[in-house]
Amino acid sequence: MPDLLIELFSEEIPARMQAGAREALKKLVTDGLVEAGLTYGGAGAFSTPRRLTLAIEDLSAASRPVSEERKGPRTDAPQAALDGFLRSTGLSIDQLEKRADKKAEVWFAVVKKPGRPASDIVAEVLESAIRTFPWPKSMRWGSGTLKWVRPLQSILCILSDESGASVVPLDVDGIPSGETTRGHRFMAPDSFTVTSFEDYAARLRRAKVMLDQAEREQAIAHGAKNLAFAAGLDVVEDKGLLTEIAGLVEWPVPLLGRIPEAFLGLPAEVLQTSMKEHQKFFSARNPKTGRIEGFITVANIETPDDGATILAGNLKVLTARLSDARFFWENDLRVAKAGMSEWAEGLTHVTFQSKLGSQSERIARIAALAREIAPLVGADPDQAEHAARLAKLDLRSAMVGEFPELQGVMGRYYALAAGESEAVANAARDHYSPLGPSDAVPTEPVSVAVALADKLDTLTGFWAIDEKPTGSKDPFALRRAALGVIRLVLGNGVGLKLLPILSGRIAAIRTPAALEAHNLNAPGDSNSYAPQVASDLLAFFHDRLKVFLKDQGIRHDVIDACLAMPGNDDLTLLVKRATALAETLKSDDGKNLLQGYKRANNILTQAEAKDGVEYSFGPDPKLAETEEERALFQALDQAEAKITPAMAKEDFATAMQAMAELRAPIDAFFTAVQINAENQIIRRNRLNLLHRIRAICSGTADLTKVEG
């Protein structure tokens, strides 16, 4: 069984695309080989900035011959039909067989496909893989039409076994396959011949190329850690950066440098962001001072001066960058200490969204909303409003202009410099959260108020101008904003009735664009459509909530049953209800109660439809004829005594527990009692009794919506 080695050697492949490319090459080639009838033992894909490699072990030397039987026309069919069959099979008439089929005699062809050597199949499969390769972005070069991520320079493709290696011949747009590759661009640029994967990997290593991304990552992590340790520092881990850097080098050489003293006063986030974004440096922290004091750069070359020139160059670039950063920081601090009014003024000229006005108009809306929400989250209204007014001012700072990802983080520093309280400063930092599913939810009351106000303003704003997410398009990240509200509310147990807030906010946006979006021209008429738009937005929240709760293991029908209840715009209440119902339905009593309830409800609904009346008159226990009937009356009384106060306290768990206890008496009642009794008075009384069951049970959720 031969082994197959493929290397596609090109100009530098973007680091971010390498992992996907490894997988794609492996899949395209192995799928193709298997489809063509070959088998293989194992396959491994590798990448460096300049090569994409696939090694396949124990590939079958040839595909098996296959013979395929095909049924043709009847022997008495016209000549044209026979000719067509001969053409399609590539056989002559004397190679066909006559066989008796159900009614008539029919031509049969046995088409034999001989086995094909692996070499032929590999050549075909590889060419097709190259031509159809799913690069996220690809390009042409020179005069060719072939597309690759960057110019493809050579193709190595060999099959090797004990007797030696042979090139699989192929030619893709003038690039012939061969058995040679090259080493490191600067340290070992000459080409060399390889005979197997082991030989290839070993020679590459001698030619200063570490083939395996994982090995390079490890070498970088290990080297960086050692350098930092020797310097009395700790590397700040960054997995994303590590992966990226390992995709930029074939022979990683970590080098450690110290940040010049003059810049050590910069906030740690600024140092880290600048070094990472601009120069792909790891940060190194001094465990004693807690400050970022060093950096680790990873070179792609070993030099006679042990990297001294490279380090000096990098330090020089770093110094220029950090000089800029310090200039921004010092200027920003000056503005901050003066109360940040310059930034507030600046934001009046910055458009948030053309139809929703400027950033300062937006901030005014958020501030008003934060004040409204504050009491519900335990924050001081004045403080929440004030925090909201300051939270986004750092958008005008020079530092955030340079590093947009530092928005909020800088806001906190500047708010503190302006003499604001920790609570207000933290709101500047935290009000964007939670951003992703792994981002923590703010818990400080002022932060929660501003974070909620920020997101609710965004959502109501875009709903007001009718720019809602569609399909995969969500340019303003409104789904994330809605999920953010959900997590903020649930995470902090906030009791917040969304509808009046949403409606009020939507009505307050009276821009021409908003009025036009709802086909209204009269100013102020936003009041006429606001409730409807608000309930549409609430439905959007409910959709996001379903997705969120589904991830927590709560079924969609359980949520639907709770959504059908009044007060469903209070998400905390809604989730409490859904959680209790889901819990109840896990028990046997809960499941069976559901059946009993549905049975009662069905009989009652049918009777009401037939009789054209509603049986909501209180049933009379004196009319009870059987023991089971009397027991049910008693059980309902007892349950109600527990459920009513529990519901008043929104203690759904207790209420549903009490409800579930009705299961046995309800089951017994249905077994023993005929509802449609001859005696109309008895019948009516029993229907009214069913109504009591329905009334008691449906106080918690609309159980008709629960499946099962």
Partner 1 sequence: MSQDSTNPGSTVPKSFQEIILRLQNYWADKGCAVLQPYDMEVGAGTFHPATTLRSLGSKPWAAAYVQPSRRPTDGRYGENPNRLQHYYQYQVIIKPSPPNLQELYLGSLRAIGIDLGLHDIRFVEDDWESPTLGAWGLGWEVWCDGMEVSQFTYFQQVGGHDCKPVSGELTYGLERLAMYVMNVSHVMDMPFNNPDAPIPLTYGDIFRQTEEEYSRHNFDGATTEMLFRHFEDAEAECQRLLDFPPADPKTGKTIIMAHPAYDQTIKASHLFNLLDARGVISVTERQAYIGRVRALAKKCADAFRQTEAGRDAAEAVPA
Site residues, partner 1 (CB under 8 A): 11-12, 14-16, 49, 137-144, 149-151, 153, 185-186, 189-190, 248-249, 279-281, 297, 299-301, 303-305, 309-310, 312-314, 316-318, 320, 323, 349-351, 354
Residue 246 DSSP code: H
As to burial, measured by CB atoms within 10 angstroms (0-12 exposed, 13-18 middle, 19+ buried), residue 701 is buried
For partner 1, the closer of residues 321 and 576 by Cβ is 321
For partner 1, the closer of residues 378 and 401 by Cβ is 401
Helix (H, G, I), strand (E, B) or coil at 505: helix
Q: What phi and psi values does residue 701 have, to the nearest 5 degrees? A: -165, 165
At its nearest, how many Å lie between partner 1 and the CB of residue 363?
Answer: 17
At its nearest, how many Å lie between partner 1 and the CB of residue 146?
Answer: 11
At its nearest, how many Å lie between partner 1 and the CB of residue 50?
Answer: 9
Q: Provide the H-helix boundaries in 509-570.
A: 512-517, 526-551, 556-563
Query: What amino acid occupies position 545?
Result: L
For partner 1, the closer of residues 254 and 665 by Cβ is 254
Please list, residue by residue across 92-121, b when 16 or more beta carbons sit within 10 angstroms of its beta carbon and e when fewer do.
eeeebeeeeeeeeebbebeeeeeebebbeb
For partner 1, the closer of residues 314 and 492 by Cβ is 314
Q: Which two three-digit tokens encode residue 522? A: 């009269």
For partner 1, the closer of residues 280 and 599 by Cβ is 280
Residue 340 DSSP code: S
At its nearest, how many Å lie between partner 1 and the CB of residue 111?
Answer: 39
For partner 1, the closer of residues 347 and 604 by Cβ is 347
At its nearest, how many Å lie between partner 1 and the CB of residue 559?
Answer: 41
At its nearest, how many Å lie between partner 1 and the CB of residue 330?
Answer: 15
For partner 1, the closer of residues 298 and 488 by Cβ is 298
At its nearest, how many Å lie between partner 1 and the CB of residue 35?
Answer: 32
For partner 1, the closer of residues 35 and 330 by Cβ is 330
For partner 1, the closer of residues 138 and 552 by Cβ is 138
CA distance 272 to 295: 9
CA distance 656 to 572: 17
For partner 1, the closer of residues 140 and 337 by Cβ is 140
At its nearest, how many Å lie between partner 1 and the CB of residue 322?
Answer: 13
- Residue pair 476/470 in contact by the 8 Å Cβ criterion: no
Q: What phi and psi values does residue 101 have, to the nearest 5 degrees? A: -110, -175
- The three-state DSSP-derived secondary structure of 571-630 is HHHHHHHHHHHHHHHHCHHHHHHHHHHHHHHHHHHHHHHHHCCCCCCCCCHHHCCCHHHH
For partner 1, the closer of residues 137 and 239 by Cβ is 137
Q: Which two three-digit tokens encode residue 11? A: 């100009």
Q: Which run of H or of E encompasses 480?
A: helix 478-491
Strand partners, 71: 108
Q: Provide the H-helix boundaries in 338-421.
A: 341-347, 359-377, 381-391, 398-402, 409-417
Chain centroid offset of residue 622 CA: 61
- Residue pair 544/538 in contact by the 8 Å Cβ criterion: no
Chain centroid offset of residue 11 CA: 32
- Supply angle C-alpha 139, 131, 89, rounded to 5: 155
ω into 500 cis (within 30 of 0) = no
For partner 1, the closer of residues 183 and 590 by Cβ is 183
At its nearest, how many Å lie between partner 1 and the CB of residue 189?
Answer: 4
For partner 1, the closer of residues 295 and 615 by Cβ is 295
At its nearest, how many Å lie between partner 1 and the CB of residue 279?
Answer: 5
At its nearest, how many Å lie between partner 1 and the CB of residue 584?
Answer: 54
For partner 1, the closer of residues 15 and 336 by Cβ is 15
Q: Which two three-digit tokens encode residue 646? A: 């529990």
The CB density around residue 239, as the number of other CB atoms within 10 Å, is 9
Q: Which run of H or of E encompasses 295?
A: strand 292-299
CA distance 179 to 169: 10
Helix, strand, coil fractions of the chain, as percent rounded to 5: 55, 15, 30
At its nearest, how many Å lie between partner 1 and the CB of residue 296?
Answer: 12
At its nearest, how many Å lie between partner 1 and the CB of residue 300?
Answer: 6
Chain centroid offset of residue 143 CA: 41
Residue 665 neighbours by CB under 8 Å, 6+ apart = 628, 631, 632, 634, 635, 636
For partner 1, the closer of residues 55 and 249 by Cβ is 249
Q: What phi and psi values does residue 186 have, to the nearest 5 degrees? A: -105, -35
At its nearest, how many Å lie between partner 1 and the CB of residue 49?
Answer: 7
CA distance 483 to 541: 8
CA distance 523 to 527: 10
CA distance 421 to 412: 10
At its nearest, how many Å lie between partner 1 and the CB of residue 13?
Answer: 8
At its nearest, how many Å lie between partner 1 and the CB of residue 350?
Answer: 7
For partner 1, the closer of residues 297 and 460 by Cβ is 297
Residue 265 neighbours by CB under 8 Å, 6+ apart = none
